[in-house]
Structures are given as structure tokens and as C-alpha cells.
């Protein structure tokens, strides 16, 4: 980090430190108050991460530092966002969050499904659910500079959603929509989403991050930031199909941290698509704590202009006969930068584990950059594991073939680039949703500028 960046970083840390010291304490039981206070102290001690922290080695916070957003507790005020059409229409239930505050719940909950704001869950949940909720909140790792945003999220823990699905219940579809918009000043929202699936429960979760500029025009709109912590607790035999689409404006910052704990025989599939955003970072940790659990993590990210997209993935095999796969595709143009750091750690006793990792990336500009680093740590016997990473350009022979079939060069390159990402949408279980996302990928695809 150069001197100018370090000075900006210090100004942001000082500003947030003042906000933390003067923030009005949130409501809740004494243990939650103590948790907030401890997290605030941890953030004040550690500060923001930099390029000397391994997990942030390739991701600069300069865009966030230049944005210099205010920490916010409570409603942001002003006019609400212009919500985009929902990614999935009809049926199901869901919620909408604006600047880290719940704006509303949608749809009717199926029998056996509870969805409440966090403060209500802390007051009205059964002792069993409350004990699990406390355990999850206290389990988030907040120590060290690499975990500064988790510490900040916990210190600012004010609003959130708890979604609980009872044993054996198929809850259907849940749509979570997130937006950041409004006039000055820029704001840093913090939010917590907690999901509990009891034994044998099932859920399809679709997340949509897509802020739109208001009719007043982009000159009146401030850029904003959101730090989100997601905690998913899957009991034995639970199944979670999780789709995430992020198409934020080029000025916004999005930082997500997902922690998934899986019981025996449970199944988790994540399929993420990043089409926009200025600075975007997703940290995903899956803990396969029960025998036979499986995790499938898929992603396609597009970056153009000066945008930065970072995926940090870690799957912990803690029990025997578990399986995991990481399958990611990146397409970068302009002066953009992408990061993929995928780790699979097979601990002692996790015999019979199966691991596959694949990271393939296309650079469409001589100024684009990708840092890809698949990792395997194996401490058990009888393991099947493979990993690979590629970085390159479009196959010129394939471009020539497409042109020989009547396409011009731009059309040929765009079609081949889209096909490169369609291998990820092909993994979606919903064919209608896959078709819709393919159209969005096509519209957002960076232009090839030659290498």
C-alpha cells in the first residue's frame, strides 16, 4: 500500500472509529450487547485490511476509501430505491433490503416456515431456536485484519432477517432483493441474514443485487457500500439451492461473507453471477461437518471498465465421505481485475472425500488482470482430488470458424465469450431462470479490445 492509499485508509478508519464510539447501542439481550462491544473493540484494534493481509493481497480498498461512506444505523432516509423487476416472478415469498434495513416482506409463508426481523427473533423465538441463533451470531470469526468487515458487521448489528424452515418442509422459493440508492452522503450499510434448515428441509434461495438510478439522473445519486454477512445452518439431510445475481452500478461497493455449516447428508449448491459493481468481494466458507455432506459452488463473473470482482472460497471437509466442487468462469475487459482464491481443506478423519476445482478465465483486453489460485490442503487418506486454473484469450481458430459461417468478428467473439459463461448457467436447476440469466450475461458482456 502506497503512502497516499495508507493516508486515505487511515482517514476512513478514523471516521468509522468515531462512529463506533458514538453509536447508540442497539436493543437486545446482554450477551448481544457484549458481542457488539467486543466486535467494535476488535475492529478498532485491527483496522481495515491491506495488501499485506494474505486474504486481501490482490484486492485494494482504494475505491471504498475514496467513497468514504458514513456508517449508518437505522433507516437511510430519503426516497427509496427504484426496485428492478424481480429475477423470478410469481409464487414464493421473500424480503427487500435497502441500505442494510428491511424495507418489506413479500408473499405468503408456507406452513412450517418462519421469517422475521432479527430483533423480533431475539424476543419471540423458542428457547431452542434462540440458543442456535446465539450460537451462530457468536460463531462468526471477527479476529484479525482479514476479518475486519465481519467485526464491523457484528459491531453494527442492528437489523437482519432470520428465516427458519421446519423439519421435512419444502419451503419452495425465497427471493431476497438488495438495493443501495439515494442522494448524498454515501452510506455503508451492514446487514445479517441467518437461515436455519431443520432435518430434511428444502429451500430455493435467489438473491438479487441490482440498484437502479432514480429518474433524477446519475448526477444526483451517491455511491454506496454494503457489508453483508450470511449464515446458513443446514441440519442433516437439508437441501439448499442458492442462486445469486449481482448487477450493481459501477459506483457501488458490495462485500459479502457467507458461512455455511452442513450436517450429515446435507446438500448445498451455490451458483453466483456478477455482472456489475465497482468493488465486489464474496467470501464463502462451507464446513462439511456431517458425513456425506456435499457442496457445489459455481460462479461466472464479468468485469469491465475499472471494476474489481473477488471470490474467496474455502470448503472445510471435516467428516468422512463428503464431496465438494468449485467451478468458476471469469471474463474481464477494460482495466478490470478479477480474483479467484479457492481452497479445499480435507482434515484428518475426513477419509473418502472427493474434491474438484476448476477456474478458467478469459482476458478481452491487454489491460485486464486476473489472479487465480486454487488450493488443496489434504490431511486424510483415500481422497480423490483435482484442481486446475487457466487464463487466456479466445481461440482464434474458433473465431475464424464462426466468421466463415457468416458472422462478423465482433459477433463471433461475443458469441464465443457468451458460450464460455453458459457452462455455468447450464448448472442451474431452473431452465427458465437459466435462460433469463443468459440474456443478462449477453447484455453485460465486456467488449473485446484485442490483445
* 363/343 Cα distance (integer angstroms): 23
Residue 384, exposed/middle/buried by CB under 10 A (0-12, 13-18, 19+)? exposed
pLDDT tens per residue across span 263-307? 999 999 999 999 999 999 999 999 999 999 999 999 999 999 999
What is the bridge-based pairing of β-strands 294-303 and 279-288? unpaired
Of the listed ranges 6-20, 180-194, 209-223, 414-428, the least confidently predicted one is: 209-223
DSSP string, 177-222: EEE---SSSPEEEEEEEEEEE-TT-EEEEEEEE-----TT-GGGPP
How high is the pLDDT of residue 405?
Answer: 59
Q: pLDDT tens digit string along 65-88?
A: 999 998 866 555 556 667 888 998
Q: Residue 311 region, left (φ>0) first, then alpha (ψ -120 to 50), else beta?
A: beta
> What is residue 123's predicted lDDT score, i.e. its pLDDT?
84
Rg (CA), the chain: 22
- Residue 92 pLDDT grade (very low, low, confident, very high; cuts 50, 70, 90): very high
Alpha-carbon torsion, ordered 232, 236, 238, 239, to 10 deg: 90
Q: What's the whole-number mean pLDDT along residues 122-136?
A: 85
Contact 156, 67 (CB under 8 A): no
Write the CA distances from 338 to 253, 259, 329, integer angstroms. 15, 22, 10
Kindly tell me if the per-residue pLDDT of 406 is higher than 80.
no
pLDDT of residue 187: 87
Q: Average per-residue pLDDT in the chain? A: 88
Count of beta carbons in the 10 Å neighbourhood of residue 397:
8
Cell 449477453 belongs to 442
Burial class from Cβ neighbours inside 10 Å (0-12, 13-18, 19+) for residue 279 reads buried
pLDDT score recorded for residue 75: 59
| Residue pLDDT, tens place only, 153-182 | 999 998 899 999 999 999 999 999 998 876
Average pLDDT over residues 400-428: 69
Would you state the pLDDT for residue 19?
87
- pLDDT tens-place string over residues 25-67: 677 888 999 999 999 999 999 999 998 899 999 999 999 999 9
Q: For 146, which DSSP code?
A: G
Residues 271 and 427: their CA atoms lie apart, in Å, by 8
**What was the pLDDT predicted at 400?**
45
Q: Round to whole Å and give the CA distance between 192 and 225.
A: 15
Which one has a higher pLDDT value, 9 or 305?
305
pTM (global) more than 0.85: yes
Q: What is the pLDDT of residues 336-382, one digit of tens each?
A: 999 999 999 999 999 999 999 999 998 989 999 999 999 999 999 88
Q: How confident is the model at residue 326 (pLDDT cuts 50, 70, 90)?
A: very high
- Average of pLDDT values for 186-191? 90
The band of 333, judged by pLDDT with boundaries at 50, 70 and 90, is: very high
CA-nearest of 433, 110, 55, 46 to 244 is 433
For residue 101, the surrounding DSSP H or E stretch is strand 101-107
Amino acid at each position: 500500500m502506497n503512502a497516499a492509499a495508507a493516508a486515505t485508509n487511515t482517514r476512513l478508519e478514523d471516521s468509522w472509529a468515531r462512529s463506533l464510539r458514538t453509536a447508540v447501542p442497539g436493543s437486545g439481550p446482554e450477551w448481544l450487547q457484549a458481542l457488539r462491544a467486543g466486535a467494535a473493540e476488535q475492529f478498532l484494534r485491527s483496522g481495515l485490511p491491506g495488501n499485506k493481509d494474505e486474504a486481501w493481497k490482490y484486492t485494494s480498498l482504494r475505491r471504498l476509501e475514496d467513497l468514504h461512506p458514513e456508517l449508518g444505523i437505522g433507516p437511510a432516509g430519503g426516497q427509496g430505491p427504484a426496485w428492478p423487476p424481480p429475477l423470478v416472478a410469481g409464487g414464493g415469498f421473500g424480503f427487500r433490503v435497502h441500505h442494510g434495513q428491511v424495507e418489506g416482506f413479500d408473499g405468503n409463508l408456507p406452513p412450517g416456515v418462519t421469517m422475521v426481523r432479527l430483533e423480533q427473533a431475539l424476543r419471540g423465538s423458542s428457547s431452542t431456536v434462540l440458543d442456535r441463533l446465539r450460537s451462530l451470531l457468536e460463531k462468526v470469526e471477527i479476529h484479525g485484519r482479514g476479518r475486519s468487515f465481519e467485526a464491523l458487521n457484528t459491531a453494527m448489528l442492528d437489523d437482519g432477517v432470520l428465516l427458519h424452515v421446519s423439519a421435512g418442509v419444502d419451503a419452495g422459493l425465497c427471493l431476497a432483493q438488495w438495493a443501495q440508492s439515494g442522494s448524498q452522503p454515501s452510506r455503508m450499510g451492514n446487514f445479517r441474514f441467518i437461515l436455519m434448515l431443520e432435518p430434511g428441509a428444502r429451500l430455493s434461495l435467489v438473491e438479487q443485487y441490482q440498484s437502479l438510478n432514480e429518474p433524477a439522473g446519475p448526477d444526483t445519486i451517491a455511491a454506496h457500500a454494503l457489508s453483508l454477512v450470511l449464515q446458513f445452518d443446514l441440519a442433516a439431510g437439508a437441501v439448499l439451492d442458492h442462486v445469486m445475481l449481482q448487477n450493481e452500478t459501477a459506483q457501488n461497493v458490495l462485500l459479502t461473507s457467507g458461512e455455511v455449516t452442513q450436517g450429515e447428508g446435507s446438500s448445498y449448491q451455490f451458483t453466483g453471477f456478477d455482472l456489475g459493481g465497482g468493488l465486489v468481494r464474496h467470501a464463502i466458507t462451507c464446513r462439511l461437518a456431517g458425513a456425506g455432506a456435499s457442496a457445489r459452488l459455481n460462479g461466472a463473473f464479468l468485469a469491465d471498465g475499472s471494476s474489481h470482482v473477488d471470490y474467496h472460497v474455502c470448503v472445510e471437509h471435516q467428516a468422512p465421505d463428503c464431496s465438494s466442487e468449485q467451478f468458476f468462469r471469469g471474463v474481464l475487459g477494460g482495466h478490470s481485475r478479477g480474483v479467484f482464491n479457492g481452497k479445499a481443506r480435507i482434515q484428518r478423519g475426513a477419509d473418502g472425500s472427493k474434491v474438484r476445482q476448476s477456474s478458467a478465465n478469459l482476458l478481452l483486453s491487454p489491460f485486464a488482470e486476473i489472479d487465480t489460485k486454487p488450493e488443496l490442503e489434504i490431511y486424510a487418506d483415500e481422497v480423490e482430488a483435482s484442481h486446475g486454473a487457466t487464463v487466456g484469450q479466445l481461440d482464434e481458430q474458433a473465431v475464424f470458424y464462426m466468421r466463415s459461417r457468416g458472422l462478423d468478428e465482433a459477433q463471433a467473439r461475443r458469441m464465443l465469450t457468451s458460450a464460455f459463461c453458459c457452462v455455468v448457467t447450464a448448472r442451474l436447476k431452473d431452465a427458465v431462470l437459466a435462460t433469463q440469466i443468459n440474456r443478462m450475461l449477453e447484455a453485460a458482456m465486456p467488449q473485446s479490445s484485442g490483445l
